Amino acid sequence: MNFLNAVAATCSFYPCIRDYAGTVRDTIFTETVINETPIKPARSSMENRIYDFKDLHDPCIIDDQTYTRDNISSVPIQGNKFTTYNLYSTNTTFPTACIYGTDGIYAMSLGTFMKSLMNGNCTTIPELDAEFYKNDYKTLKCDPWQLETLVNNGLASFDAIDRNMQSVATAVTSEMRRKGSYYHPQSYSAPPTFATGTVLRTTSCTKFDWVWLSFPLALIILTILLLCITCGKMLFDKSRVPVWKSSILPLLLAGHRLRDVAAAKDMDDMKANTEPLVVSLVQDERGWGFAIEDFKDKKKKRED
């Protein structure tokens, strides 16, 4: 296989405790690993041959109090459960709520699965002409097939292999976080349970600043008030002021002096009747109004 530029790399998977910090920005949730602590094998007793992978999560929060390895012994005994593990050849008792990790049966099952997934070999036909089939990676056969991904068509490197191994570890971690790492035969028939904790939810709220809304509100109220006054005046005015929306001319002609001129039924007739008029604004006992002073046609005739 020398003509295929084979490379060698040593990789290993190990259990660890990860602390994450999560943020939500523009509806996108992002997690960042802020701490990673490897876990060493531990036994609940010296007679137990199955090793668990558990350790104290440092720091640990119990009843809103923060504890570390230095003051973990000060956790109140009443109301808390404790578990003893043989860590670093020493029997150590920790609060159960502060122990993170996985049980030995789950770890053994996961190890068996990883061996079946990663253990294998890649071969090629030995009789092939090395010079002729140089860089022809179609002749490479791997079992299991996913090992071909590590070869990467002859572009394999330590960084590429490390990224692939990290992707596998991330996938296993995500599955453990989704389903948990505690194995118990009865748990598969039991109803689903909910994780306890504090949920922080972000919602959008609208705050009204009434100082900025005071002017448009006052303008709306004033407009409605003027409209009501206008409608009331039109309704109760004995002079029957006409209401026209397309022109202000009928309103200007309202009054007893120009009643005959404003009697036209449409705007074209009204404009034709008022075109030759020369009017002036006068005041009488009924109020202000326009009065006819002269006619433009007569004025032209006098000039002639």
pLDDT more than 70, % of the chain: 70
pLDDT in tens, 174-228: 888 877 655 555 555 556 666 666 777 778 888 888 888 889 999 999 999 988 8
Give the pLDDT mean for 159-167.
Answer: 87
Contact yes or no for 86/43 (Cβ under 8 A): yes
**What is the C-alpha to C-alpha distance for residues 53 and 17, in angstroms, rounded to an integer?**
10
Q: What is residue 132's predicted lDDT score, i.e. its pLDDT?
A: 45
Is the pLDDT at 130 greater than 60? The verdict is no
Q: Look up residue 23 and give its amino acid.
A: T
Question: Contact, 250 vs 262, CB < 8 A?
Answer: yes
Q: At what angle do helices 104-118 and 158-179 cross, to 10 degrees?
A: 140
pTM beyond 0.75: the answer is no
User: How many alpha carbons fall within 13 Å on the CB side of residue 179?
Assistant: 12
For the chain, give the DSSP string. -GGGT----------EEEEEEEEEETTEEEEEEEEEEE--EEBSSTT--SPEEEEE-SSEEETTEEE-TTTGGGS-STT--EEEEEETTEEEEEEGGGEEEE-HHHHHHHHHHHHHHH--EEE--TTS-TTTTTT-GGG-EEESGGGHHHHGGGT--HHHHHHHHHHHHHHHHHHHHHH-S---GGGGTSPP----S------------HHHHHHHHHHHHHHHHHHHHHHHHHHH-TT-----SS-SHHHHT-SSSSTTGGG-SSHHHHHHHHTTEEEEEEEETTEEEEEEEEEHHHHHHHH-
Per-residue pLDDT at 271 exceeds 60? yes
The burial of 137, by beta-carbon neighbours within 10 Å (0-12 exposed, 13-18 middle, 19 or more buried), is given as middle
Mean pLDDT of all residues in 254-274 = 65
In whole angstroms, what is the distance from residue 43 CA to residue 67 CA? 23
Q: Within 10 Å of residue 44's Cβ, how many Cβ atoms?
A: 17
Domain ranges (residues) in the chain: 8-119, 135-197, 244-295
Q: Is the pLDDT of residue 237 over 70?
A: no
Residues paired with residue 19 on neighbouring β-strands, in sequence order: 35
Report CA-CA distances (Å) from 154 to 81, 131, 209, 241.
55, 15, 65, 95
Residue 63 or 44, more confident = 63
> Is the pLDDT higher at 190 or at 64?
64
Residue entry with tokens 């748990």: 187
- Predicted confidence (pLDDT) at residue 301 exceeds the cutoff of 50: no
| 56, β-bridge pairs | 99
Backbone angles phi, psi at 60, to 5 degrees: -120, 140
Q: What's the pLDDT at 269?
A: 74
Which of residues 278 and 215 earns the better pLDDT score? Answer: 215
Four-residue CA torsion sign, 138, 142, 144, 146? negative
Q: Which two tokens stand for residue 170?
A: 């991330």
Q: Which residue has the higher pLDDT, 210 or 270?
A: 210
Taking the C-alpha atoms of residue 147 and residue 162, their distance in angstroms, rounded to an integer, is 13
Mean pLDDT of the chain: 75
- Report the candidate in 90, 89, 52, 98 with the shortest Cα–Cα distance to residue 71: 98
Burial class (CB in 10 A: 0-12, 13-18, 19+), 183: middle
Give the whole-angstrom CA distance, residue 95 versus residue 76.
9
